[in-house]
């Protein structure tokens, strides 16, 4: 697991840390069940605040990519499709970046998304596998 963060980047540090883990899960460098280093260790290692790292880890948990358990630390989720989920989260971020570049408002962007969702049939067999 390689973490790279730059304080000069406009992206918040916590987001940068989350992006490192997300990328590693997406390209298979971090496998399901792999234990991530403790937030305290990452913070000490990178020279950033421990809350910054925790913010990044919490973001990943909200995306369903890692599990945070007291005492066990952060573990890449063993649920099927972790790599696909990570790629999806990366894709969404790329879309948002494009929307921002075009100057779309949040509402305009969400309307686009809703429109796309509405015309795409949800496959019946995916309903059971919902996470």
Partner 1 sequence: MSTARRVAVVAVPFGLAAVAYGAVFLANQDRLPERLATHFGSGGEADGYLSRATALWFGGGMLLGLGLLFSLMLLRAKDASGQRLTAAVGAGMAVTLGYPLVMTVLINTDVSDPAAARLPMWHVAVLLLAGLAVGGLAWWVVGPGASNAAEPPVPALALAEGESASWSRTMVSRVVLVAAGAGALGGMLVVLFGPPWAGLVPLVVALFCAVSASVRVTVDRHGLAVGSTLLPRPRLAVPLDRIVSATSVEVNAAADFGGWGYRIRPGRRGVVLRSGEALSARLTGGREFVVTVDDSTTAAALLNGLRDRHEGTRG
Residues that bind partner 1 (CB under 8 A): 1-8, 29, 34-35, 37, 41-42, 45-48
Taking Cα atoms as reference points, which of 79, 90, 71, 70 lies closest to residue 24? 90
If the CB atoms of residues 69 and 127 are measured against partner 1, the closer one turns out to be: 69
Minimum CB–partner distance for residue 27 and partner 1 (Å):
12
Greatest alpha-carbon span in the chain? 48
Q: Which residue has 């494009």 as its token pair? A: 98
Minimum CB–partner distance for residue 45 and partner 1 (Å):
4
Minimum CB–partner distance for residue 2 and partner 1 (Å):
5
If the CB atoms of residues 47 and 128 are measured against partner 1, the closer one turns out to be: 47
If the CB atoms of residues 46 and 104 are measured against partner 1, the closer one turns out to be: 46
Residue 65 vs residues 18, 101, 108: alpha-carbon distances, Å: 10, 27, 28
Minimum CB–partner distance for residue 10 and partner 1 (Å):
14
Taking Cα atoms as reference points, which of 38, 22, 99, 44 lies closest to residue 72? 38
């Amino acid at each position: 697991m390689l973490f790279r963060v730059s304080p000069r980047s406009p992206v918040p540090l916590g987001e940068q840390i989350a992006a490192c883990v997300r990328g590693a899960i997406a390209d298979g460098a971090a496998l399901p069940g792999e234990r991530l280093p403790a937030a305290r260790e990452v913070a000490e290692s990178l020279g950033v605040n421990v809350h910054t790292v925790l913010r990044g880890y919490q973001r990943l948990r909200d995306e369903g990519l890692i599990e945070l358990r007291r005492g066990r630390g952060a573990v890449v989720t063993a649920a099927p499709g972790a790599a696909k989920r990570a790629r999806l989260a990366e894709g969404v971020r790329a879309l948002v970046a494009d929307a921002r570049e075009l100057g779309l408002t949040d509402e305009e962007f969400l309307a686009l998304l809703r429109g796309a969702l509405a015309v795409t049939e949800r496959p019946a067999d995916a309903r059971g596998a919902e996470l």
